[in-house]
Every structure is written in structure tokens, then in C-alpha cells.
Amino acid sequence: MVGRIPIMNVTPLVDLGRQPAKATVGEPLPVTASVFREGHDQLGAEVVLIGPDGRRRPTVRMTKHADVPDRYEAWVVPDAPGAWSFEVVAWSDPLGTWQHDAALKVPAGVDVELMFTEAHLLLDRVLTSLDPRDPASAGAAQVVQSAIEAARDTTRPDAARLAALESPEVADVMYRHPVRELLTVEGPYPAYADRERALFSSWYEFFPRSEGATRDEKTGRVTSGTFQTASKRLDAVAAMGFDIVYLPPIHPIGEVNRKGPNNTLDPGPDDTGSPWAIGSKDGGHDAIHPDLGTFEDFDAFVGRARDLGLEVALDLALQAAPDHPWVTSHPEWFTTRADGTIAYAENPPKKYQDIYPVNFDNDPSGICQEVLRIVRLWMSHGVRVFRVDNPHTKPLAFWEWLLREVRRTDPDVLFLAEAFTRPAMMQALGAVGFHQSYTYFTWRNAKWELEEYLREVSHETSHLMRPNFFVNTPDILHAFLQYGGPAAFKIRAALAACGSPSWGVYAGFELFEHVAVKPGSEEYLDSEKYQIRVRDWDAADREGRTLAPYLTRLNEIRRAHRSLQLLRNLSIHWSDDENVLVFSKVARDPSGAIEDAVIVVVNVDPHAARETTVHLDMAALGLEEHDAFVVHDEITGEDWTWSAHNYVRLDPFHEPAHVLDVRRTR
């Protein structure tokens, strides 16, 4: 039933409370509710956060929304990982009602003595509620006692008595020590706080077989890299400021229906095939491709990454090559067509003749236990992050079960969903436990598209899914990068690194790799999915043909600014140019004061300089409309004095973006 003080439309709430809302240790979590009552009496509301230990944290008072009637909001911060819950508490506020009525009646000479009598009776209740053992209560008691004396002192002018009762000191005590009547509680509602890496991370993807690979100049034959050679690349990845190195599948690759270069169907004897075509006579998901090395080599790779401050993310692709051991031992795990053949994977117009998708309906228990076994195997070798390939093609209930089982024993293990699919499925995958999600960011390039999408992921879906803005993937080379030149790579990197607390780069991005297999395609020419790519990183560094210094600087800025490590704190501002995007992010200290603020201005046109006026929502920055303040460009090192309206010129052939640290007011 509805409570005495109605509390409705509580957020964050996922699947009617059946799933926990997304939270992160140290990340402010907004709680909102519609709170109202009959008549005109005032009310109050607050949020109580309940930790995994069952301990109730200090209450946080809710404040009225500036624009939405009867909408209240508070920000709470989980301080430990685990399963949390929160309650919304509302009450009739006789002190607030008195303040409202007295301000109208006493100056008008209406019920004057009655108002003062009610004041001292209410303040007596406040005085009684103060804990004499609490030193902080001593000052409050003194303030309240003085106010009671003023209310009772009929020798003073009425205006003076009212002024004493309306003083900031008395108002502060009334706010901090309210008289609660008709107390109403809604909840508890669940939230789960993950470790910080679930929210704030910088990913770098590379194929181990390409790192350290060599090409014989005479024969053209390519020799695969190994874990030992790939480990040498880790130093450069760490130096660029990335904290997760993601490896595509490292398992044996099928020989039946193996793909050749550029997804052709006629491979040569030396063609390596796609790592996503998992399984051969050398083993399946619990084995390592023999060209890469052994489990001992993998353990050494993970250890080296750990020494450099990197976590290793492993691809979890639940599919099989036609010669995967599962096909023989568990044919019921696949779909058999009318002609007796096993159905291969399709994502029209793409066809994957080298891959059999798993059918989860014939033996769900067997498949579940096998996948859990595989995940735990790699966890035992130091993998605490998994990037899951195409999770939207598997039953949602399976993921809910698997992620819950892993979280039960190893809550630090994280899963990233690679699901470029319909919004309902993407959000549902986040709801059932995926910690991060690939997004539509790659296809949001115009200013208006970016504004809408940044609002969506920061505010509308943040309780369901955490975005990871990958600038490219082995599958996705957007036309913006194909035809935008080096400026396009800077633009997309700046947008991803500053627009989302988690972002990712696939190797080759820093070398401006941009050639598609054919016009209109998003596939790379000579895609690394089907062949080894030999890159000369050292030559690119020597010749200055690399974006690595820029990526390094972006990651340095992200680590220096708390505001860029958060999700729910983004505000869109305005410019007079349809190609100049402006947004800001702020971080607040425990008192609510802004301790870090960053303004990002990006020219999203890679072909031309743009000059315009930027218009700031000063309140979003914690500033007054007429304030002037200093901004420091973290990219160029320049300083400017800004105000609410500012001239900006951004040349993509020089620097297409400002990342501005709001330093101080003047």
C-alpha cells in the first residue's frame, strides 16, 4: 500500500528491483523519488544506504529538483565492494511547515502569539532530541535554547522575535535535526558496488600472434609472435597509460573451413585463420594455440603485465570451429539442420563458415557447467577480466546464472559485453551483471548525435550499463576514420577518453591505420582477424608516425582528474557552431563542493577549422553567471580567462580539442 507520505517512482531501480543497480566503490550514486502529500504542510526526505555488512550509513538529506515538482534527489557513495541496498525515508516536517507559515502570518499580524507558541513547543522537541554526549550537539543546543527564549519573550517586538527564529543558525539546526512525523519508508532497493576498475579503465587490444611476428623478406612467409615476444609490447602499452590489455582468443584455431586473408574461403597452407574459430585437434577453450606457447608462457605474460600495472583481459567466445573437441564429444550442443549438417554462424550479410554457434537449449546444464569450468580455469591463471564475444546471441538467463556464480566466489572478476545490438538487449545484459558494455559510440559522429548519446549513457542508462567507448575494433573501422585523416583519430580519441570513464583502443589506431577492404565496408583491409600483421612500432616512433604521445597524454589527463573517472556527472553546454561540441564533467568532495571540473570542447569536423562562441551553463560548473575564471588547456599547456561566453577556434590540423581544467575564479 501507499505510505502515509507517498514515495513513488524511486530510482535507480532495475527490473522492478529484481536486479541490483550499477554502483562502484567511491562513485556518487544518485537516488531520486517523487515525494508528496495532501494539503500544504511541508515534508522532508532522506536516503539511508545499507552496506554489505548490514550497517546503516549516515542518512543523506534529499533536496528538491530545480525543475520537476515533487521530485527529490540525493547522492550517496558506497565505500566498500559488495551488495548494498538503500531506503528512501519521508516524513511530515512540522518545523518546515512552521517556517513557511510564520514567514507569512507574523508580518501580517495573523495568529502571532500562536505561531510563537508553536515555535517554542517544536524547538523543545528538537532540544530533547539532541544527544548531550555528542560534543557537536552542545552548540546546537545553545542555538535552540536562545531561539526558545526569543519565541517566549513577549517584551521584544514581533519582528525581532521572528528574526531570531529565522536566523541562519536556527535554520541550520532545524535542517540538521528535523522533527519527523508520519515517518514513511520505501525499500530496501538493491545496488551492487563493484571495484573501481569496473567504472574507470583504459583498454588496449592486441593480437599476441602479431606482436613480435616477423616476415621473411625473401619468401614473404610470416612467423607468428608468441607470448614471450608479445610481452615485450606490454612496456609500450603501460607507458601509454593503459591499464587493461585485452587479448582476442588465444586458443587453437580450427582447420576445417578455415578462413583465408580478408575473409576468403580458400586459405593457403600457411594461413593462420581467425582466432574466433576456436578449437582443433590441439584442443578447445581450455587450451593455448601451440604457436603462442605454453601455460607457463601465458603465466609469465600475465605476471609481466601485473608488474607493469596492467590487467589481462581474455576473450570469452562461446562458439566452436567444426573440429573443436566439443563437436565430437557433445554434438547436442549445436544445431543440426534438416540435411544433417551443423549450422554455422551468420550475421547477415556476414557469414562465418568456420564457426558453429552453441545451442543452449539441448543440454543447458552441461553447457553451463562447462563454461563455468573454462572461466574458472583462466581465472586460476590470473585472468580477472573477460571480454565476452557476442553475448546477445546467447540466452540472457545463462549470463545471469554465470555472472552470479562467478560473483559469488570472485566478485572482483569483471565482464565486458561486446553486444552491438538492440538497446533492450544491451541494457538487459548490463542488468543481469555485465560490468561494462560496448556502445554505439563508434557510429555517433555528428555533434547532435554525440550530445544525445552522452546524455543517454551518462544519465538515462547508467543504472543499467557502464559504457566503454572503443574508438575502433578489429570489426569496426568507421568511415570517419577512413576518410578523416589523422585529425579524425585525435577527435575520436579525445571524445572517447573524456566522454566515458572507460575507453578502448585496438592496436594500429595509433599508426592511423585506415584502409578498408572495399568502399562502404567497415572491415580493415588485410584484417588482423584473418592474418598476422607485422608492425614496426620502433620505426613509427622514430619517424613520428604515431599518435602514441597523444594517447599517453589523454590517459595522463584522465588519471589526474577525478571528474573524468566518473560517469553520472556529465553536462552538455552549447556553441554557435554545428560542429563544435561542448561538455563538462565535475567531481565533488564529501561536502558537495566541486573539487575538480573539466570542460571539453571538440571540433568534430576533421576537415576544417571552426571558430565560434561557447556558452556555458555556469551552475553546472558551480559558478555564478558573472564569474570569470582561469582555464588551463591540458593538451597545449595554454591558459585563458573564461566566463559564461567564450570565443574558441579549433583547427583539426593543429589541435581539434580543448581539455580545460577549471583552475580558479577571479
pLDDT confidence tier of residue 261, bands split at 50, 70 and 90? very high
Strand partners for 579: none
Residues 423 and 457: their CA atoms lie apart, in Å, by 11
**DSSP symbols for 212-247:** T-EE-TTT--EEPP-HHHHGGGHHHHHHTT--EEEE
- For residue 450, pLDDT over 90 is answered with yes
Report DSSP state, residue 70. Answer: T
Please answer whether residues 57 and 76 qualify as being in contact, where contact means their C-beta atoms are separated by less than 8 angstroms. Answer: yes
pLDDT at 653: 96
Strand partners for 60: 47
pLDDT confidence tier of residue 138, bands split at 50, 70 and 90? confident
Residues 209 and 229: their CA atoms lie apart, in Å, by 9
Percent of the chain with pLDDT over 90: 95
pLDDT at 624: 94
Residues 474 and 404: their CA atoms lie apart, in Å, by 30
CA angle 549, 554, 556 (to 5 degrees): 90
203, three cell numbers? 583498454
pLDDT at 136: 76
58: three-class secondary structure by DSSP: coil
Q: What is the mean pLDDT of residues 500-517?
A: 98
Residues 304 and 228: their CA atoms lie apart, in Å, by 10
513: three-class secondary structure by DSSP: coil
Length, in residues, of the chain = 666
Q: Are strands 181-194 and 82-92 parallel, antiparallel or unpaired?
A: antiparallel
pLDDT at 496: 98
Residues 6+ apart with CB under 8 A from 619: none
2, three cell numbers? 501507499
pLDDT at 591: 83
Picking from 165, 146, 7, the residue whose alpha carbon sits closest to that of residue 101 is 165
Report in angstroms the alpha-carbon separations of 95 from 42, 101, 158, 492. 8, 10, 19, 53
pLDDT at 666: 47
Q: What is the mean pLDDT of residues 362-382?
A: 98
The predicted-structure confidence for 213-253, as pLDDT tens digits, reads as follows 999 999 989 999 999 999 999 999 999 999 999 999 999 99
Report in angstroms the alpha-carbon separations of 160 from 118, 149, 239. 17, 12, 67
Residues 116 and 102: their CA atoms lie apart, in Å, by 8
Alpha-carbon Rg for the chain, nearest whole angstrom, is: 30
The Cβ of residue 519 has, within 10 Å, a number of other Cβ atoms equal to: 7
pLDDT confidence tier of residue 139, bands split at 50, 70 and 90? confident
Specify the range with the lowest mean pLDDT, choosing from 189-203, 453-467, 588-602.
588-602
The pLDDT mean for the chain works out to 96
Residues 385 and 413: their CA atoms lie apart, in Å, by 6
Report DSSP state, residue 392. Answer: G
Picking from 233, 79, 204, the residue whose alpha carbon sits closest to that of residue 468 is 204
Strand partners for 469: 503
Cis amide bond preceding 322, omega within 30: no
635, three cell numbers? 593538451
User: 109-114: long-range contacts at Cβ-Cβ below 8 A with a sequence spacing of 24 or more?
Assistant: 112/158, 113/154
Picking from 571, 560, 628, 637, the residue whose alpha carbon sits closest to that of residue 595 is 560
Percent of the chain with pLDDT over 70: 100
Q: What is the mean pLDDT of residues 195-210?
A: 98
Q: What is the mean pLDDT of residues 462-472?
A: 98
Picking from 603, 611, 618, 604, the residue whose alpha carbon sits closest to that of residue 662 is 618
Sheet with 29-35: strands ordered across = 7-11, 29-35, 71-76, 63-64
Picking from 246, 247, 242, the residue whose alpha carbon sits closest to that of residue 200 is 242
Where are the strands (E) in 6-156, listed by range? Answer: 7-11, 21-24, 29-35, 43-50, 60-61, 63-64, 71-76, 82-92
Residues 507 and 511: their CA atoms lie apart, in Å, by 8
Strand partners for 598: 585, 661
Residues 231 and 225: their CA atoms lie apart, in Å, by 10
Report DSSP state, residue 341. Answer: P
- For residue 137, pLDDT over 90 is answered with no
Please answer whether residues 27 and 466 qualify as being in contact, where contact means their C-beta atoms are separated by less than 8 angstroms. Answer: no
At residue 596, φ and ψ (nearest 5 deg) are -155, 135
- For residue 466, pLDDT over 70 is answered with yes
Residues 6+ apart with CB under 8 A from 200: 501, 502, 558, 565, 566
Residues 268 and 379: their CA atoms lie apart, in Å, by 35
Residues 590 and 275: their CA atoms lie apart, in Å, by 47
Task: Give how far the C-alpha of residue 650 lies from the chain's centroid of Cα atoms, to the nearest Å.
Answer: 28
pLDDT at 1: 78
Q: What is the mean pLDDT of residues 624-645?
A: 97
Residues 234 and 190: their CA atoms lie apart, in Å, by 39
Q: Please report where in the chains the cell 567504472 appears, as a residue.
A: 199
- For residue 312, pLDDT over 50 is answered with yes
Which residues are annotated as catalytic? 389, 418
Q: What is the mean pLDDT of residues 401-407?
A: 98
Let me know how many helices (H) and strands (E) the chain has, helices first: 17, 32
pLDDT confidence tier of residue 657, bands split at 50, 70 and 90? very high
Please answer whether residues 577 and 633 qualify as being in contact, where contact means their C-beta atoms are separated by less than 8 angstroms. Answer: no
- For residue 188, pLDDT over 60 is answered with yes
Please answer whether residues 656 and 609 qualify as being in contact, where contact means their C-beta atoms are separated by less than 8 angstroms. Answer: no
Residues 234 and 308: their CA atoms lie apart, in Å, by 8
pLDDT confidence tier of residue 2, bands split at 50, 70 and 90? confident
Where are the strands (E) in 51-178, listed by range? Answer: 60-61, 63-64, 71-76, 82-92
- For residue 480, pLDDT over 70 is answered with yes
Q: What is the mean pLDDT of residues 421-437?
A: 97
pLDDT at 665: 57
- For residue 177, pLDDT over 60 is answered with yes
Burial of 104 (0-12, 13-18, 19+ CB in 10 A): exposed
Q: Are strands 181-194 and 21-24 parallel, antiparallel or unpaired?
A: parallel
